[in-house]
A and B are shown apart, each in its own frame.
Chain A
């Protein structure tokens, strides 16, 4: 079968499949893998299988927890709200990230360091610290309301609303959009734009017809990363939002911690996990390197 592949597609060494030979060096993986197996894989499996073993009345067995998930209106609302907020956050970060990442490709080396630091600082800052800052800013007698009333705008209640959650999530996730987007934008050959303009295209037309299609893998990779991480956000909605407008990851914790409904919590966790992996799988198909390199940065 290997004869059908031309050597230009695969390097010759990989065309011939080498039989498995045990090498002692592979044992180096064992201790690290054991930690992951015991304290990640096993806990994950044991919690997810509770969807079929732990029940709250009126559920009593089998797939009842799944039936509960799909028949309760609150769950559908929860799912739609989570997707809605995360999608909005993704759109906001994409709109903000594009000009920033674009400028990063134009500036001198020194300014690139400045801009990169501006991205990395929030990236490395503890979530709690950033959320705390938003609590201070958005509280009823906070900085934002103070500024609004200076402009004659009536102060309004922001903490505990989806508005506060969206703002803080967009700020927290922006670096995750900028980094993969920049790595794609810096690889775009700008002479293509000059070529298109010299052939008579307007700058706007050459941007939309040449630059934007080339930037799409970066926008896609960034969007998937932001969306996937946004879906899993727990702390931001837990502190800045309220139980009435909870998001999915928050509800997983509430079911388990407050209601002791392990089975229901694990159904919600399964939904969250399935959506996460499905999105990542799709994104990997489109732009494997961009997504994995973005994880590399993280």
Chain B
């Protein structure tokens, strides 16, 4: 089967090429529709974007996703420095610094020319309540209303009381957009969008499932890159089509004996946000050592309930209820026990040999449980672990050699 798949990941086969086109078109479409008068919303990643499909002409941009894209394209440092020049501390999240640097300099140096100016900003506080502080910066600078969804943190599975509280807030969100945009919300359209999201997540999990094959059919780096359209095309048929193509293509490759790390000796799991500035370098160098980071908590949580792996399927009824129940589909809002539960399941499913805990200065919510999580994985599950220092988007805070000294030590521990 023809494939441009280089060792260590990055499938530049049909789905890889389609991904680039899709992301480019999503951003172009966002700018175009905004310029033609669409109601523009900026959202945090967990905000239920499917709801916007219930309106005639509402488009959304995701500052975190935009910042990750900038970091992946090498624009992180220059944009961070701009924000620092505006007085924002180097200790602040690098996503925030990149995005503030972009927004306050007219989109210069951003591969997408930034995002179109919003009419409404919506954040939530379960993934990270600093998002609220970050989005407040724009709210104040531009006088744009900022709506916060207050989603309680999950030390255990979502409680009914929390579910009802979230549902009430979705009602406020919908009425706010109706009032501001003059458009009516159509629940059936939102239901269709939710159905498509649910379909897409099934295909996404089918794709991730090839990490269980030995050697693995994928790398976690593939999943990092391929998660982008979840944030730009959520709730659309093109997202379903894309993930179906991705999973089909991966299945075909596995059948034909094509693997990202053919001489795979070590199967690793990554815990934290992707190191966007290191994807190619890190995957390639690890592949040279016979190591494949096959799975990542950052991507396996998507589409699942807290502490789970399998997708949470839509039952076809109330789209708001599905979205409210799935308001914890990233790792950050999960307590330690839920994180342990999901990671244990993935370690067992995918026969993981070692876990890389990426201690990320830019994401305390993800990182500040890792030392105890690592102790549990090492002592209770008997899996070797290592912690490396990373900043997900600011390469100036990352040392490749220091990281690889530890990664190589992990491989030695696995061999021992």
A and B part of one assembly: no
Q: Interface of B with A (CB < 8 Å)? A: none
Q: Interface of A with B (CB < 8 Å)? A: none
